[in-house]
Amino acid sequence: MKYGLEKIEALLPDFQYVDDDRIITSVGLTVSLYFWGGHTPEKRQAIIELFEAYEEAYGSELKWGCDPESWQTRKLADKKIPKLRNYAAKLDEDDCIEWYLSSGEHREQATEYAIFCLTERGWQKGCISELYFQLPRSHAVTHSISTIAKRLTACCCAIEREAITWELLAEL
Protein backbone atom coordinates (compact mmCIF):
# COMPACT_ATOMS: atom_id res chain seq x y z
CA MET A 1 0.00 0.00 0.00
CA LYS A 2 2.84 2.41 0.71
CA TYR A 3 3.96 2.08 -2.90
CA GLY A 4 0.49 3.23 -3.98
CA LEU A 5 0.78 6.40 -1.91
CA GLU A 6 4.26 7.05 -3.28
CA LYS A 7 2.82 6.83 -6.81
CA ILE A 8 0.12 9.35 -5.92
CA GLU A 9 2.61 11.70 -4.23
CA ALA A 10 4.80 11.58 -7.37
CA LEU A 11 1.88 13.06 -9.34
CA LEU A 12 1.63 16.21 -7.21
CA PRO A 13 3.79 18.40 -9.47
CA ASP A 14 1.30 17.68 -12.26
CA PHE A 15 -1.92 17.90 -10.26
CA GLN A 16 -1.37 20.37 -7.42
CA TYR A 17 -1.61 24.10 -8.07
CA VAL A 18 -0.50 26.62 -5.44
CA ASP A 19 -1.06 30.39 -5.63
CA ASP A 20 0.19 32.81 -2.94
CA ASP A 21 0.97 29.87 -0.63
CA ARG A 22 -2.63 28.64 -0.98
CA ILE A 23 -3.36 25.21 -2.39
CA ILE A 24 -5.95 25.80 -5.12
CA THR A 25 -6.15 22.27 -6.54
CA SER A 26 -4.73 19.00 -5.27
CA VAL A 27 -5.04 15.23 -5.39
CA GLY A 28 -7.25 13.71 -2.70
CA LEU A 29 -10.05 11.25 -2.03
CA THR A 30 -13.64 12.33 -2.55
CA VAL A 31 -16.60 10.07 -1.82
CA SER A 32 -19.77 11.23 -3.61
CA LEU A 33 -23.27 9.90 -3.04
CA TYR A 34 -26.28 10.75 -5.19
CA PHE A 35 -29.56 9.45 -3.83
CA TRP A 36 -33.33 9.76 -3.94
CA GLY A 37 -35.59 10.67 -1.05
CA GLY A 38 -33.34 13.14 0.75
CA HIS A 39 -36.46 14.73 2.25
CA THR A 40 -37.52 11.56 4.11
CA PRO A 41 -36.90 11.10 7.83
CA GLU A 42 -34.94 7.87 7.26
CA LYS A 43 -32.49 9.46 4.81
CA ARG A 44 -32.13 12.56 6.96
CA GLN A 45 -31.31 10.44 9.99
CA ALA A 46 -28.66 8.57 8.00
CA ILE A 47 -27.21 11.89 6.76
CA ILE A 48 -27.01 13.19 10.33
CA GLU A 49 -25.27 10.00 11.45
CA LEU A 50 -22.73 10.30 8.62
CA PHE A 51 -21.98 13.93 9.52
CA GLU A 52 -21.60 12.99 13.19
CA ALA A 53 -19.27 10.10 12.35
CA TYR A 54 -17.20 12.35 10.10
CA GLU A 55 -17.03 15.09 12.74
CA GLU A 56 -16.11 12.56 15.43
CA ALA A 57 -13.25 11.25 13.30
CA TYR A 58 -12.03 14.49 11.72
CA GLY A 59 -13.62 17.33 13.70
CA SER A 60 -10.26 18.54 14.96
CA GLU A 61 -9.33 19.27 11.32
CA LEU A 62 -12.48 21.25 10.49
CA LYS A 63 -12.21 25.05 10.80
CA TRP A 64 -15.33 26.57 9.30
CA GLY A 65 -18.76 25.90 7.89
CA CYS A 66 -21.56 27.70 6.13
CA ASP A 67 -24.37 29.10 8.24
CA PRO A 68 -27.47 27.21 7.06
CA GLU A 69 -29.66 30.33 7.17
CA SER A 70 -27.41 32.85 5.41
CA TRP A 71 -24.76 30.61 3.81
CA GLN A 72 -22.15 32.96 5.28
CA THR A 73 -18.80 31.44 6.24
CA ARG A 74 -18.49 30.97 10.01
CA LYS A 75 -15.56 29.71 12.08
CA LEU A 76 -16.53 26.58 13.97
CA ALA A 77 -14.58 27.79 17.00
CA ASP A 78 -17.09 30.65 17.35
CA LYS A 79 -19.88 28.06 17.82
CA LYS A 80 -22.35 30.11 15.77
CA ILE A 81 -23.30 27.16 13.57
CA PRO A 82 -25.78 24.79 15.22
CA LYS A 83 -25.26 21.04 15.26
CA LEU A 84 -26.83 19.44 12.20
CA ARG A 85 -29.00 17.18 14.37
CA ASN A 86 -30.52 20.19 16.17
CA TYR A 87 -30.97 22.16 12.96
CA ALA A 88 -32.58 19.28 11.04
CA ALA A 89 -35.03 18.60 13.89
CA LYS A 90 -36.66 21.98 13.16
CA LEU A 91 -37.12 21.30 9.44
CA ASP A 92 -40.16 19.86 7.74
CA GLU A 93 -39.97 17.72 4.61
CA ASP A 94 -40.32 20.76 2.34
CA ASP A 95 -37.10 22.26 3.74
CA CYS A 96 -33.77 21.10 2.36
CA ILE A 97 -30.66 20.26 4.31
CA GLU A 98 -27.77 22.25 2.87
CA TRP A 99 -24.69 21.79 5.04
CA TYR A 100 -20.98 22.37 4.50
CA LEU A 101 -17.94 22.02 6.79
CA SER A 102 -14.29 22.44 5.74
CA SER A 103 -10.71 22.40 6.97
CA GLY A 104 -9.53 25.14 4.61
CA GLU A 105 -8.49 28.65 5.50
CA HIS A 106 -11.01 30.07 3.01
CA ARG A 107 -13.59 29.02 0.40
CA GLU A 108 -11.17 29.02 -2.53
CA GLN A 109 -8.69 26.60 -0.98
CA ALA A 110 -8.59 22.94 -1.95
CA THR A 111 -8.98 21.24 1.41
CA GLU A 112 -8.11 17.80 2.68
CA TYR A 113 -11.21 17.59 4.85
CA ALA A 114 -14.68 18.74 3.82
CA ILE A 115 -18.22 17.40 3.95
CA PHE A 116 -21.28 18.71 2.11
CA CYS A 117 -24.91 17.76 1.68
CA LEU A 118 -27.83 19.16 -0.30
CA THR A 119 -31.14 17.30 -0.14
CA GLU A 120 -34.25 17.59 -2.21
CA ARG A 121 -37.33 19.15 -0.67
CA GLY A 122 -40.51 17.12 -0.24
CA TRP A 123 -42.25 18.98 -3.05
CA GLN A 124 -39.29 18.19 -5.32
CA LYS A 125 -39.85 14.41 -5.18
CA GLY A 126 -37.91 12.83 -7.99
CA CYS A 127 -34.99 15.27 -7.76
CA ILE A 128 -31.68 13.84 -6.67
CA SER A 129 -29.93 14.68 -3.41
CA GLU A 130 -26.17 14.73 -3.01
CA LEU A 131 -23.60 14.26 -0.30
CA TYR A 132 -19.85 14.21 -0.57
CA PHE A 133 -16.88 14.19 1.73
CA GLN A 134 -13.18 14.67 1.15
CA LEU A 135 -10.21 13.06 2.85
CA PRO A 136 -6.44 13.29 2.39
CA ARG A 137 -5.00 11.23 -0.46
CA SER A 138 -3.27 8.90 2.00
CA HIS A 139 -6.72 7.59 2.99
CA ALA A 140 -7.09 6.04 -0.45
CA VAL A 141 -4.27 3.58 0.09
CA THR A 142 -3.91 2.99 3.83
CA HIS A 143 -5.87 0.50 5.88
CA SER A 144 -4.85 1.94 9.25
CA ILE A 145 -8.12 3.86 9.26
CA SER A 146 -10.27 0.77 8.82
CA THR A 147 -12.49 1.41 11.86
CA ILE A 148 -13.32 4.92 10.69
CA ALA A 149 -13.70 3.71 7.10
CA LYS A 150 -16.13 0.98 8.11
CA ARG A 151 -18.25 3.39 10.13
CA LEU A 152 -18.39 5.92 7.29
CA THR A 153 -19.19 3.12 4.83
CA ALA A 154 -22.05 1.92 7.04
CA CYS A 155 -23.42 5.46 7.19
CA CYS A 156 -23.15 5.81 3.41
CA CYS A 157 -24.95 2.51 2.91
CA ALA A 158 -27.72 3.65 5.26
CA ILE A 159 -28.25 6.62 2.95
CA GLU A 160 -28.20 4.56 -0.22
CA ARG A 161 -28.05 0.76 -0.17
CA GLU A 162 -26.31 0.67 -3.52
CA ALA A 163 -23.53 2.96 -2.25
CA ILE A 164 -20.09 1.88 -3.32
CA THR A 165 -18.03 0.40 -0.48
CA TRP A 166 -14.94 2.02 0.96
CA GLU A 167 -12.76 -0.98 0.07
CA LEU A 168 -13.71 -0.66 -3.59
CA LEU A 169 -12.93 3.06 -3.56
CA ALA A 170 -9.51 2.35 -2.08
CA GLU A 171 -8.77 0.02 -5.00
CA LEU A 172 -9.57 2.66 -7.65
pLDDT tens profile 48-65: 999 999 999 899 999 999
> CA 118, CA 50: separation in Å to the nearest integer?
14
The model's pTM: 0.79
Decide which of 29 and 88 is more confident. 88
Task: Give me the sign of the Cα torsion angle 89, 53, 134, 23.
Answer: positive
> CA 171, CA 2: separation in Å to the nearest integer?
13
Domain range summary for the chain, segments of one domain joined by +: 2-171
> 5-14 — which CB contacts under 8 Å span 24+ positions?
5/137, 5/138, 5/140, 5/141, 5/142, 8/137, 8/140, 8/141, 9/137
Q: Is 15 helix (H, G, I), strand (E, B) or coil?
A: helix
pLDDT tens digits, one per residue of 71-109? 888 999 998 899 999 999 999 999 999 999 999 887 777
> CA 24, CA 115: separation in Å to the nearest integer?
17
The predicted structure's pLDDT at residue 169: 44
**What is the distance in angstroms between the CA of the first residue and the CA of the last residue of the chain?**
13
pLDDT-derived band at 166 (thresholds 50, 70, 90) equals very low
Do the Cβ atoms of 77 and 91 come closer than 8 Å?
Answer: no
Q: Does the pLDDT value for residue 2 go beyond 60?
A: no
The predicted structure's pLDDT at residue 129: 92
The full DSSP string for 65-104 is EE-TTT--EEEGGGT-SPPHHHHHHT--TTSPPEEEEE-S
pLDDT-derived band at 159 (thresholds 50, 70, 90) equals confident
Find the angle CA(163)-CA(102)-CA(141) to the nearest 5 degrees.
50
Can you tell me the mean pLDDT for 18-36? 79
